C-alpha cells in the first residue's frame, strides 16, 4: 500500500472526518499578516501573544516545519451539533459553538498520532506551522469566505483544522474554486462591533473573539456589544448563508463535552462559583490568554451588566470592592448598568 493508502486507513481508524493533500508551496499568509499589522488591523499585543502573527514567514512556508517536506496534509474535524436552548435566557450566558467541545485539542492529538504513525512507516513527518485556514484551502477541504473563515461544502465554517507535513509524495486533492455570492454582506452586517471592515478583511482590534480572550480590563466600547456572551462570538457564522444547511458533525463526537451546567448556556451566577479545577476541566481549553476563573468572572460581569435583570445587582455587588482592581471595575460597571435597567 502506498503512503496515501496507509495514511487514509490510519486516519479512518482515528476517526478523522476530513483529510486533504497538497504539494508543498509557499502561501500569501505572511504578506497578508504584515500588511494587516502595518494597517493597524492586528494589534501589537496580539502579535506578541500569537506565534502565527509573530513569525508569519514561518507560517507561510511548510518547509520551515520540515525541510524535506513534499506534501502538506490537512485534517478537519466538523463540530456542528444542535443543543436545545433554554426558553428563558434572561439569567444565562452563551458560549460560542466552537467551544462546546475541545474539538481543537482532540484533533491536535490525532494529528500528532498521524505524525508518529508516518515516522513508524519510515517517512519523515512533522506538525506543520501553517495557518489552519490556509491548510484547508490548499488541500481542497475548504474555500475562504468573506468572514475570513474556511468554509467546507458539507459542514460550513463549523470545522477545526490542523496540518502536518511529510516527505511522502501524495497526489493533490482538487481545490475548491468558489467564493461568496457577489454583493453578499450578511457577515459584515451581522458583526456586533463592525470588525469585518470589508469582505475578507478583519480588524482584530474589534473582533469580540479576540477582545473576550484578552487580559486586562475589557474596553468600555466593547462591553454592550458583548451582550450575554461568556466567550467567543458566532455572529458572522450564524449569519452566513453557507451555514444554513450544513450537516451535523459525524457521530459519535469523540471530543469530550464539558459539564452541561457550564457549557453552552451557563447560569450567570454559576460562572462566579467555578473553581480552579472546574475551570481546568471544562473551560480552560477555550481561547483565553489567561485561562483562569478571574477572566471568566470578568466576562460574566459584563454579561450580568447587560442582562437587564435588576435582581442580579446583588451578584455584581459581591465584587464591587474586590481586591482585584479589574474585577472591581467591571463589577461597578455592571451595578451601574443594572441600576438603570427598567428606568424610563
pLDDT score for 343 = 59
C-alpha cell at 36: 494587516
pLDDT at 344 over 60: no
192 pLDDT higher than 60: yes
Which residue shows C-alpha cell 456589544? 225
Residue 238 has a pLDDT of 96
**pLDDT tens-digit readout, 136-186:** 999 999 999 999 999 999 999 999 999 999 999 999 999 999 989 989 999
- What percent of the chain is modeled with pLDDT above 90? 95
Q: How far apart are CA 102 and CA 235, in angstroms?
A: 20
- Residue 87 and residue 126 in contact, taking contact as beta carbons nearer than 8 Å: no
pLDDT band at 1 (very low <50, low <70, confident <90, very high): confident
User: Mean pLDDT across the chain, nearest whole number?
Assistant: 96
pLDDT > 70? residue 125:
yes
343 φ, ψ (degrees, to nearest 5) = -85, 145
How does DSSP assign 230-268, residue by residue? EE---HHHHH-GGGTTPPPPPSS--SPP--TTTSSS-BH
**Residue owning grid cell 486507513:** 9
Amino acid at each position: 500500500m502506498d503512503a496515501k493508502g496507509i495514511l487514509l486507513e490510519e486516519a479512518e481508524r482515528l476517526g478523522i472526518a476530513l483529510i486533504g493533500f497538497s504539494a508543498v508551496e509557499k502561501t500569501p499568509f505572511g504578506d497578508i499578516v504584515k500588511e494587516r499589522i502595518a494597517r493597524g488591523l492586528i494589534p501589537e499585543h496580539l502579535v506578541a501573544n500569537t506565534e502565527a502573527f509573530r513569525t508569519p514567514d514561518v507560517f507561510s512556508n511548510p518547509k520551515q516545519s520540515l525541510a524535506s517536506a513534499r506534501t502538506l496534509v490537512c485534517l478537519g474535524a466538523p463540530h456542528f451539533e444542535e443543543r436545545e436552548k433554554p426558553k428563558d435566557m434572561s439569567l444565562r450566558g452563551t458560549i460560542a459553538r466552537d467551544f462546546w467541545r475541545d474539538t481543537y485539542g482532540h484533533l491536535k492529538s490525532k494529528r500528532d498520532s498521524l505524525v508518529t504513525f508516518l515516522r513508524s512507516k519510515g517517512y519523515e513527518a512533522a506538525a506543520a506551522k501553517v495557518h489552519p485556514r490556509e491548510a484547508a484551502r490548499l488541500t481542497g477541504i475548504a474555500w475562504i469566505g468573506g468572514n475570513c473563515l474556511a468554509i467546507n461544502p458539507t459542514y460550513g465554517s463549523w470545522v477545526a483544522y490542523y496540518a502536518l507535513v511529510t516527505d511522502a509524495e501524495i497526489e493533490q486533492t482538487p481545490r475548491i474554486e468558489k467564493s461568496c455570492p457577489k454583493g453578499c454582506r450578511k457577515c459584515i452586517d451581522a458583526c456586533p462591533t463592525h470588525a469585518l471592515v470589508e469582505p475578507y478583511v478583519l480588524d482584530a482590534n474589534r473582533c469580540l473573539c479576540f477582545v473576550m480572550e484578552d487580559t486586562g480590563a475589557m474596553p468600555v466600547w466593547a462591553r454592550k456589544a458583548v451582550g450575554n456572551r461568556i466567550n467567543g462570538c458566532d455572529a458572522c457564522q450564524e449569519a452566513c448563508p453557507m451555514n444554513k444547511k450544513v450537516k451535523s458533525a459525524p457521530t459519535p463526537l469523540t471530543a469530550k463535552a464539558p459539564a452541561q451546567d457550564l457549557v453552552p448556556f451557563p447560569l450567570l451566577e454559576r460562572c462566579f462559583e467555578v473553581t480552579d479545577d472546574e475551570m481546568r476541566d471544562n473551560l480552560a481549553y477555550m481561547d483565553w490568554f489567561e485561562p483562569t476563573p478571574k477572566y471568566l468572572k470578568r466576562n460574566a460581569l459584563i454579561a450580568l451588566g447587560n442582562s437587564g435583570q435588576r435582581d442580579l445587582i446583588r451578584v455584581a455587588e459581591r465584587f464591587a470592592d474586590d481586591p482585584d482592581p479589574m474585577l472591581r471595575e467591571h463589577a461597578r460597571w455592571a451595578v451601574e448598568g443594572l441600576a438603570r435597567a427598567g428606568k424610563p
